[in-house]
Amino acid sequence: MTAPLEHLSRNHRLDRFFIGGEWREPRGTAKGAVTNPATEEVATQFPLGNCEDVDAAVSAARQAFPTWGRTKPEYRAGLLDRLQALLEARSELIAQCLTLEMGAAVGYARTAQVPLAIAHVKAARDVLTGFPFVERRGRTAVTREPIGVCALITPWNWPLYQITAKVAPALAAGCTVVLKPSELSPLSALLFAEAIEEAGFPAGVFNLVNGDGSCVGSRLASHADVDMISITGSTRAGVAVAQAAAPTVKRVAQELGGKSPNVILPDADLDRAVSVGVAAGFRNLGQSCSAPTRMIVPRARLAEIESIAERAADEIVVGDPLVETTTHGAIANRAQFDRIQTMIGVGISEGAKLVTGGTGRPGGLNAGLYVKPTIFSEVRTDMRIAQEEIFGPVLCIIPYETVEEAVTIANDTVYGLGAHVQGAEMDLVKDVASRIRAGQVHLNYPAWDPHAPFGGFKQSGNGREYGLEGMLEYLEIKSILGYF
């Protein structure tokens, strides 16, 4: 099949932005580069937008909103159906693109990155169907109307998944959007824009401008004609966006950092709880804000847990992401690779017990951004590796004496995004889950649910994505008294 870069270049997408239904040349001359993490070689260059590009995209979205916001839900649902079908038809091309731009093993891109992204489109369409845009409350009509022009800033770790999690519900709600994908993984966003165009969304409803946070992101956040901004990224980036947005009093939704706990209760099936917990913590090479990278375990069974965890880590195959037997590819970018190496060194210097892994590349890999899956045990809550988001395949095993202490440890962080609880006695499992301050808690590793609202407590952000609550973020409430 056609390679992603060949496809984008042949169709004149690499050097353009999608604004007002057209592929337009950028106003500025600045360039960014996509580096293949598996080889550390530059794969291609692409234009970075400037304030003029942002203004053009926002203007197109603003012009399109009055008409789009009043379209019938059935019409919008039909377009989302077409978008879903087009993404499914392009799934292999997108998977290859994700492998190129952020190092995901191609098998993982095919089975997780792409299908889970498409699931957000279907979920938004399903929520839209039959959604009560008008509800009666006595003689008052309580209506929900699209908020307007939405700026959407997405990260590099789940490029398409984060795009569809924002764009699909925003479009379903009747909003128009300007998307700024990460400048480290912009290619899959171009493929998404192609699908939007082919699906037949009206001009200006969806717009894409590539660029960095300091220019394009800042301009979107402060823009007076943007009614809402949604960002997925680091807590630092979320704070910067909120500060830039404050003077215009726009709505700000933030899905930010995490340091998610995985509480393994004394009666849990250890073989399953620990081995699946390692896999969950290392999914996408730990480059997931909700990855359960703090495994909180009974101290009396610590040695047994360490042994199970080490065996689980040994089953991971790190290597060339294009090789079918590879389970985990390369870290997405050099800055993140260096961060992970630094934090592994910090864990060693802090005195945590190194169960497996460590600094440096895995054996036989002398180039590329490859990291050893690393597990620390006997980790204390005051250690940096227990408090800071590492965003890599680094698991901290933290022992506890009592369930009460386990809950305290789970909550001993500035974050509150995701959490897990494992155990046989469901009353206790549910009780522990109810006491963890996090926006989403998984009990005994359930299947992923695209309709389960996702978002954070504390410094993990505000607002919710996915399902019904994901669409509600893009709607305003209006009361019309005397309507009935």
- Annotated catalytic residues are 255, 289
Quick check: 392 and 64 in contact, CB under 8 A?
no
Annotate 224-257 with b (16+ C-beta within 10 A) or e (fewer).
ebbbbbbbbbebebbebbbebbeeeebbbbbbbb
Quick check: 398 and 302 in contact, CB under 8 A?
no
Cα–Cα distance measured from residue 218 to residue 212, given in angstroms and rounded to the nearest whole number? 9
Quick check: 419 and 438 in contact, CB under 8 A?
yes
Q: Pick the closest to residue 370 from 319, 321, 310, 315 (CA basis).
A: 319
Q: Pick the closest to residue 147 from 475, 469, 478 (CA basis).
A: 475
Q: What is the CA radius of gyration of the chain?
A: 23
Long-range CB pairs of 6-15, under 8 A, 24+ apart, other chains included: 7/93, 7/191, 8/187, 8/190, 8/191, 9/44, 11/194, 13/190, 13/193, 13/194, 14/44, 14/46, 14/190, 15/46, 15/47
Residue 472's CB is within 10 A of a number of other CB atoms, namely: 17
Q: Pick the closest to residue 190 from 28, 11, 315, 27 (CA basis).
A: 11
Cα angle, residue 152 at apex, residues 112 and 460 outer, rounded to 5°: 70
**Residue 317 dihedral angles phi and psi, to the nearest 5°:** -110, 105
